[in-house]
Amino acid sequence: MADAEAFDFVCNQIEARTALDRLAARGTVRIALKQAGLDSRSVTPGQMAVVAEKLLVAELASRGIADSATICNEIASKARRLVGVAGAETPDAVFRRLGG
Amino acid sequence: MTRVLDAFLLASTLAFVLAGAVVGARLLLLSARTRELSDFLVGFSLFDLSAIGYPLILLGSLGDLSLAHTKLAAIASSIAIALGWAGVFLFTQRVFRASEAWSRLLAFAGIAALAYGLVAGILFIQQASDAAALLSTRNPTRFLSIAAVAAYVWTSFEGFRCWDQARRRLKLGLADPLVVNRFLLWGCIGVSSLMSVVPSLVILHSGGDGSTDFASRISTALGGLIASIALQLAFLPPAAYRRWLTRHASV
């Protein structure tokens, strides 16, 4: 199963705006997603934006990226404008529905 | 002491049958509205196991049934629990690991073991000369219990894994506290089901009688009680419990 569009978008943005190469950018975003309990294959634009704002800032700063807060806020703002593509149903969605 | 244990076992069995039947029926009704296979699978499994399978096992264990009726109850209960446990495999695969090839293989292997246990078990039951033979370690229906252990280990692992991930999302405001708790309860339902299945399986293989073994009966009773409480809280939570979870999460 391929990575979600929101994940690819944020990785590409980080690669373009920082000194991180493709592998490092994707690895950094994956670490942030893992901390958030999310999966790169099913993350939505809204979730990706929150991760960028709340977790990615520190991850980029720890890799020596200057002004990571501004970069992440801009990426988050753009990520929110992405239109999420409905993928496979997540366990969250199923268990929410089962609660009635 | 034996009377107390008998009463505890009966109470926990009735609690599980009632909770499973009510929750299963509610989820089946939900699946009729949503037309979602996942909803049907979990509703069917719960209703089938608790309202049909386990009562038939209890019926078959009554000493005063004729051999023909005991065999009939054993065959009917084997069919019901095999279908119910197949539903657990399918639900777990579809909900937690839909895109993973290995999960389809695992679900297929589990269902194949259930099918073998059921078909070979029915043939064995039909040929049994007395009721005691049904409890023999040669009875292939033990494969049903072995497959059930795999199904419950798998589904409880997935429940706890999703709970761990959902707790992290909750801290970021990306998860519903009720759903986070439902994952935890699902894991607990799997573990408590194991508490009912594993001891009797171990005792059967060691040549004992699970219906008289103290540790096995206590484990089964506790498992049934925990499962019935967890089912109620997960799928029919009282308003006070919902409020408590929401308030606890916001703190």
Yes or no, beta carbons of B174 and A36 under 8 Å apart: yes
Q: State what percent of residues in chain A have pLDDT above 90.
A: 82
| Structure confidence at residue B132 (pLDDT) | 75
| Structure confidence at residue A86 (pLDDT) | 61
For A34, nearest residue in chain B (alpha carbons): B165
Whole-model pTM? 0.91
Rg (CA), chain B: 19
- Digit-coded pLDDT (tens) for B93-138: 999 999 899 999 999 999 999 999 999 999 999 988 887 777 777 7
- Digit-coded pLDDT (tens) for B7-56: 888 899 899 999 999 999 999 999 999 999 999 999 999 999 999 999 99
Distance CA B220, CA B115 (A): 25
For B173, nearest residue in chain A (alpha carbons): A50
Q: Which of B38, B99, B166 is the closest to A94 by Cβ?
A: B38
- Digit-coded pLDDT (tens) for A38-48: 999 989 999 99
Three-class DSSP labels, chain A: CCCCHHHHHHHHHHHHHCCCCHHHHHHHHHHHHHHCCCCCCCCCHHHHHHHHHHHHHHHHHHCCCCCHHHHHHHHHHHHHCCCCCCCCCCHHHHHHHHCC
Residue B176 contacts A where some CB pair is shorter than 8 Å: yes
